[in-house]
Amino acid sequence: DSGVTQTPKHLITATGQRVTLRCSPRSGDLSVYWYQQSLDQGLQFLIQYYNGEERAKGNILERFSAQQFPDLHSELNLSSLELGDSALYFCASSRREETQYFGPGTRLLVL
Amino acid sequence: TQLLEQSPQFLSIQEGENLTVYCNSSSVFSSLQWYRQEPGEGPVLLVTVVTGGEVKKLKRLTFQFGDARKDSSLHITAAQPGDTGLYLCAGGGGKLTFGKGITLSVRP
């Protein structure tokens, strides 16, 4: 158990819909990262937040957005969903950037 | 764009055998991490290496960071079925770049 929690574990929705994925970091970690894992692309960095502020951005689509709240939990919002958005979404947290601990992930299926 | 290439892509061996897998890049990384991931679960951090030439051991697993900090290797001694999984290397800090991974299967 990494100490990072993610909800929900599974999510099935339809194209065009919007979903919110939630992440609670390990106690004391100020940084939260979001990654997408698909069979063809592997694990891809989406975005990083540090103590409530956006710190780094990867290849995150404009339809996707995230935020980190004062209690340090984070949410990833995915809108206008497409079939290709089906993937595993992971949250990670860290105190030091090179040592990230991953949550169990949310498996998103868009039908 | 920094890329990490892992080889071999797939490896199937018998319990008790030794193996070495690789993670290579043309870019210099400030640090490199190795993770193991099982199906449907999140990657689990095995080790972080930060100094060129550094060697770290975790029970039967030995990790080495190349002198130029562009590559890394993972050696497993006397592999066991519990070592089965996807081994991922990742480079950098914060915005981690991941390799595609090595799928290891250890047969009893």
Strands B71-76 and A10-13: unpaired
Name the interface residues of B facing A (CB cutoff 8 Å): 30-31, 33, 35, 40-45, 48, 50, 88, 90, 92-101
Sign of CA dihedral B83, B25, A101, A68: negative
Q: How far is B93 from chain A (nearest CA, A)?
A: 4
Q: How far is B50 from chain A (nearest CA, A)?
A: 9
Both structure tokens of A36: 């997408």
Distance between CA atoms of A14 and A75, rounded to whole angstroms? 20
- Chain position carrying tokens 């939990």: A73
CB neighbour class for B53 (10 Å; exposed up to 12, middle 13-18, buried from 19): exposed
Can you give the pLDDT at residue A97?
Answer: 74
Both structure tokens of B102: 């090595």
pLDDT-based confidence at B19, cuts 50/70/90? very high
At A84, is the secondary structure helix, strand, or coil? helix
Can you give the pLDDT at residue A27?
Answer: 94
Radius of gyration of chain B measured on its C-alpha atoms: 13
Chain A positions in Cβ-Cβ contact with residue B93 (cut-off 8 Å): 96-98
Phi, psi of A54 (to 5 degrees): -70, 130
Tens digit of pLDDT at every position of chain A (111 positions): 889 999 999 999 999 999 999 999 999 999 999 999 998 888 999 999 999 999 999 989 999 999 999 999 999 999 999 999 999 999 999 987 778 999 999 999 999
DSSP annotation of B47 reads E
Instruction: Say whether B101 and A100 touch across the interface (CB within 8 A).
Output: no
Whether A73 contacts A25, CB under 8 Å: yes
pLDDT tens-digit readout, B58-108: 999 999 999 999 999 999 999 999 999 999 999 987 789 999 999 999 999
